[in-house]
Amino acid sequence: MGKTLQDFDLPRIAQPMNFQTTVQHEIQEEYDIVVDPSHLQTQHSLNSDQKYVFDKIMTHVNNDLPGVFFVDEPGGTGKTFLYKALLAEVRSRGLLALATASSGAAVNNMPGGRTAHSRFNIPIQLDTNSTCYIPIQTGTAGLIRLARLIIWDEASMAKRQAIEALHRTMQDIMGSTLPFGGKLMLMGGDFRQVLPVVKRGTRAQIVDASFRMSPLWSSTEKLRLSINMRALNDPWFSEFLLRVGDGTEETTNGNFIKIPDAMTIPFTTNDNSIRDLINIIYPSLDSNTHSPDYISSRAILTTRNDSVDEVNDYMINIFNGDECVYYSFDTTEDDHRNLYPVEFLNSLTVGGLPPHKLRLKIGCPVILLRNLNPSDGLCNGTRLVCKGFQPNAIDAEIVVGEHVGKRVLLPRIPLSLSEEDMFPFKLIRRQFPIRPSFSMTINKAQGQTIPHVGIYLPEPVFCHGQLYVALSRGTSMENTKVLVHPSKKIKAGGVFTNNVVYQEILLDQ
């Protein structure tokens, strides 16, 4: 602009400086990741299946060979354990390994993890010809060229169009027609879990959006991890979960399966039953309101957002401490005639957006709804507890994953709905991108391990894998409790609920 430092009364530069950095910051960030020594030792504790996968991947790393692998990982197979061993071994050699996942919950369990959308700039609106926005000369493109291994966890949750978009982009960056441009890809997931979300999609559309339906699937080598039953406290419970996920559990009256009696909470009235569930999952709440470990180890899962709000409102009411309320600033884009009054916009409660009236207390748990700073653990799905409130910032502490214990400031930011929501206007809500997380939807909980989990089903599950995901979040049958509103009279004694499994997605499991 024709100005000098002296024009602004700034100090002179004492010596010539080279402002052309030789290493782009995306690459430098990966090189700066510190390898945990304990992760380097995990390879010596791998079971036979994990060791086979580890050796196979490291053979490709050592010889710089291309390959696309998919690890089938039902709960309890130690996938995170395996990933940490691979990442530590590759990075300890001075090589780059990228750790990504489809959900923030899974990302938080991997050192240096980033969500796939954040890492690869995958577009939100996808079609069959989409590509990622990664210009060839950028640092991200350079990072992909240098990466010796790319891990994508929970790939079963991603739409196949997103994976295919990355495949085409990497082919362009690498100048190769091989799958993913000849890079070494290790993807993992469990197709028994919830499939990619297709709003208002039919069963056929949901199945078609899965990576299993992609042409790339045929060129992907499948690997298997099995559950070590001897290492589990309750092998019967693990076998029960697999039967639920595979759709082979005995059914009655259609798709209704019986919940083990030890896990059920009898339904009396709506208010009393919810109170019983909360008292079991959150015992001695008054004396543990300032314990992050206590708060982060418990959650109540349910199917829909209105049920989540019902439980969260009840929990905020009984939670100790002074309440802080933040109201959003709602506007619409290009509404020159004021067709949508502010009062109407404030009344909207939409999944993926924070509420207009955000009620919080010191020590209460919240879940992040946007990627704010993935490299520092602030990913969509990260769980935190509130530590302090300011007019335009919330002081919070991360309570899960690799960044546990880190204090962060959450800003109030503008958020908008995606085009898929099909509103006749574009709502822009300026609010903190969080929701209370005493309760959360089953889909939001996928990828998380919650030691004490309650499952609240005011209506049956409605899509593939939801019941399996809900039941498998806990660590044992004793710490998993289920409350079901009876929707159908079944003569057999016990508590029954619907189980939805799309068998066509599991044909070669």
* CATH code, 36: 3.40.50.300
H helices of 267-371, in order, are: 270-281, 292-296, 305-318, 342-346
Task: Report the range of poorest mean pLDDT among 443-447, 469-473, 505-509.
Answer: 505-509
Q: Could you tell me which of 80, 78, 89 has the C-alpha nearest to residue 43? A: 89
* Residue 488 shares a structural domain with residue 468: yes
Q: Average pLDDT over the chain, rounded to whole?
A: 88
* Residue 351 shares a structural domain with residue 211: no
**Predicted TM-score (pTM) of this structure:** 0.86
Average pLDDT over residues 44-63: 92
What's the token pair of residue 213? 């339906």
What sign results for the dihedral spanned by CA atoms 285, 289, 293, 298?
positive
User: Which residues form the domain of 310?
Assistant: 268-442
* Residue 161 shares a structural domain with residue 285: no
CB atoms within 10 A of CB 344: 11
* Residue 242 shares a structural domain with residue 277: no
Tens of pLDDT, residues 357-398 = 999 999 999 999 988 888 788 888 889 999 999 989 999 999
* Residue 142 shares a structural domain with residue 209: yes
Phi-psi group of 482: left, alpha or beta (phi > 0 → left; psi -120 to 50 → alpha; rest → beta): beta
Tens of pLDDT, residues 30-52 = 998 889 898 999 888 888 888 99
Where is the domain boundary, 418, 442, 466? 442
**Cβ within 8 Å of residue 26, ≥6 positions away:** 138, 139, 140, 142, 143
Is the predicted pLDDT of residue 413 greater than 60, yes or no? Answer: yes
* Residue 281 shares a structural domain with residue 387: yes
Q: Please tell me the distance from the alpha carbon of residue 440 to that of residue 435, in angstroms, as a whole number.
A: 9
The residues pairing with 386 across neighbouring beta strands, listed in sequence order, are 396
